């Protein structure tokens, strides 16, 4: 059908995401899909059972706009137990339709046309389109890559702050690099934002996947930072239910009031039975407290196997992603190598260049190890032949 009155695009440079492209190619080529970041194993059966019970008990109508009160109380209790910061569940916590909606709503609430938003690349692919939809101007800073892996160049970020800067996008544990902020990073961040009007959107969806005894440095731990931050997390990542699209935002009441003004017209609220089921399930903290150990075993299995291949492993301190340098295998561009790997080796990966606005090439691809051990073993068997 031809449309003669198509409006000009608000996102003219945006096409189908690399995740959809590579997943479709993986299906076509019958490849092991280590590209898109979702588990290929089931969640705890107790969780869908709790949701089913909520539906059967008639909890199928609209919940309050910011989320079920008992659910927000559970989230508040979790945050204070882990990070020492108490958020008022009535005014400072909102349940969202996943973290991506939380990010977009935060930007729409805070960013006015012409405001600048600092983005640290490589960056999750929703950040820049969301900034542009809000009328903001992305200001890009690239992470540095050295022998010890990726790091944030705080002095470069400081140099980018101007009177137009409204918000800083942060992500730790970091997708796609596996970088995790340390106390030194927090100290540098505090020095940079002190005395500015800068707000922070802190994407902490991998908060429970931190390895080797490291601690997740949530901005909620630091009152100076918490006072200017929207802290975003995801139950989909934590409980192996990415398709449920349930997350939350925690922020000071004044910031949350602006967030909710947009949220109520953005999605209004999030489905009731899943909120009720998660409320019940969260009473036991073990599933999220034990998640780092669960994924560290998978990371170690995968890394040990990759050490027998020609890939060079980059550090992975958190998330469920492992980045590798393929320079010893091919001189293809990252996208072409990812396509070749899917087609010829039967393993799908994501080119890290896709996480840069200008497609920076470093001959690095990202694998997801949130998979059954059998899936990882099969992928490693195929990669060993390269």
Q: Which two tokens stand for residue 25?
A: 């190619």
Residues 365 and 258 both lie in one domain: no
Say how far apart CA 250 and CA 128 lie, in whole Å: 22
pLDDT for the residue 81: 98
Say how far apart CA 249 and CA 93 lie, in whole Å: 6
Domain of residue 362 covers 18-43+289-383
Q: Residue 163 domain-assigned?
A: yes
pLDDT for the residue 4: 67
* E strand spans, 122-156: 137-142, 144-146, 149-151
Nearest alpha-carbon partner for 70 in 225, 278, 373: 278
Q: Residue 375 domain-assigned?
A: yes
Last residue of one domain, picked from the residues 268, 286, 304: 286
Say how far apart CA 233 and CA 249 lie, in whole Å: 7
Q: Residue 228 domain-assigned?
A: yes
Q: Residue 13 domain-assigned?
A: no
Residues 271 and 297 both lie in one domain: no
Please give the distance of CA 28 from its chain centroid, rounded to a whole number: 27
pLDDT for the residue 218: 98
Q: Residue 85 domain-assigned?
A: yes
Residues 170 and 220 both lie in one domain: yes
In contact, 249 and 102? CB cutoff 8 Å: yes
Q: Residue 68 domain-assigned?
A: yes
Residues 54 and 189 both lie in one domain: yes
pLDDT tens string, the chain, 386 residues long: the values are 666 667 788 888 777 788 888 889 989 999 999 998 889 999 999 999 999 999 999 999 999 999 999 999 999 999 999 999 999 999 999 999 999 999 999 999 999 999 999 999 999 999 999 999 999 999 999 999 988 899 999 999 999 999 999 999 999 999 999 999 999 999 999 999 999 999 999 999 999 999 999 999 999 999 999 999 999 999 999 999 999 999 999 999 999 999 999 999 999 999 999 999 999 999 999 999 999 999 999 999 999 999 999 999 999 999 999 999 999 999 999 999 999 999 999 999 999 999 999 889 999 999 999 999 999 999 999 999 99
We report the CATH number of the domain holding residue 245 as 3.40.640.10
Residues 281 and 295 both lie in one domain: no
Burial zone of 199 (CB within 10 Å; 0-12 exposed, 13-18 middle, 19+ buried): buried
Q: Residue 122 domain-assigned?
A: yes
Q: Which two tokens stand for residue 307?
A: 């050490």
Residues 126 and 204 both lie in one domain: yes
Please give the distance of CA 293 from its chain centroid, rounded to a whole number: 19
We report the CATH number of the domain holding residue 331 as 3.90.1150.10
Residues 97 and 112 both lie in one domain: yes
Residues 84 and 217 both lie in one domain: yes
Nearest alpha-carbon partner for 66 in 331, 250, 321: 250
Residues 280 and 359 both lie in one domain: no
Please give the distance of CA 286 from its chain centroid, rounded to a whole number: 22
Q: Residue 87 domain-assigned?
A: yes
DSSP one-letter code for 345: I
Residues 220 and 329 both lie in one domain: no
DSSP state letters, 175-239: TTT-----HHHHHHHHHHHTTS--EEEEE-TTTT-B-TT-----GGG-HHHHTTEEEEEEHHHHT
Say how far apart CA 173 and CA 155 lie, in whole Å: 20
DSSP state letters, 233-301: EEHHHHTT-GGG--EEEE--HHHHHHHHHHHHHHT----HHHHHHHHHHTT--HHHHTHHHHHHHHHHH
pTM over 0.75: yes
């Amino acid at each position: 059908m031809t449309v003669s009155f198509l409006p000009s695009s608000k996102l003219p440079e945006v096409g189908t995401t690399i995740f959809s492209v590579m997943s479709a190619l993986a299906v076509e080529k019958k490849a092991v899909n280590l590209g898109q970041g979702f588990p290929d194993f089931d969640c705890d059966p107790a969780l869908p059972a709790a949701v089913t019970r909520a539906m059967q008990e008639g909890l199928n109508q609209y919940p309050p706009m910011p989320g079920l009160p008992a659910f927000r109380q559970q989230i508040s209790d979790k945050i204070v137990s882990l990070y020492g910061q108490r958020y008022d569940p009535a005014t400072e916590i909102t349940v969202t339709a996943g973290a991506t909606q939380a990010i977009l709503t935060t930007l729409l609430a805070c960013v006015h046309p012409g405001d600048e938003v600092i983005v640290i690349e490589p960056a999750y692919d929703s950040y820049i389109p969301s900034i542009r939809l809000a009328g903001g101007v992305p200001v890009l800073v690239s992470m540095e890559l050295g022998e010890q892996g990726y790091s944030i160049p705080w002095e470069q970020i400081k140099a980018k702050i101007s009177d137009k800067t409204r918000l800083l996008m942060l992500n730790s544990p970091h997708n796609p690099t596996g970088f995790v902020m340390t106390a030194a990073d927090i100290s540098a961040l505090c020095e940079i934002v002190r005395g500015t009007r800068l707000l922070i959107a802190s994407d902490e969806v991998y908060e429970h996947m931190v390895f080797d005894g490291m601690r997740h440095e949530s901005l909620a731990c630091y009152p100076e930072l918490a006072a200017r931050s929207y802290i975003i997390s995801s139950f989909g990542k934590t409980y192996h239910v990415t398709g449920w699209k349930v997350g939350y935002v925690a922020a000071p009441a004044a910031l949350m009031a602006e967030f909710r003004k947009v949220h109520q017209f953005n999605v209004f609220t999030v489905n009731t039975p899943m909120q009720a089921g998660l409320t019940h399930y969260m009473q036991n903290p073990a599933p999220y407290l034990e998640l780092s150990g669960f994924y560290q075993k998978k990371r170690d299995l995968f890394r040990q196997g990759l050490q027998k291949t020609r890939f060079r492993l980059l550090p992975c301190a958190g998330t469920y992603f492992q980045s590798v340098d393929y320079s010893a295998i091919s001189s293809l561009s990252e996208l072409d190598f990812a396509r070749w790997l899917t087609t010829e080796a039967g393993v799908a990966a994501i080119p890290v260049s896709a996480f840069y606005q200008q497609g920076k090439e470093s001959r690095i691809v990202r694998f997801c190890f949130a998979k059954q051990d059998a899936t990882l073993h099969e992928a490693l068997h195929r990669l060993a032949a390269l």
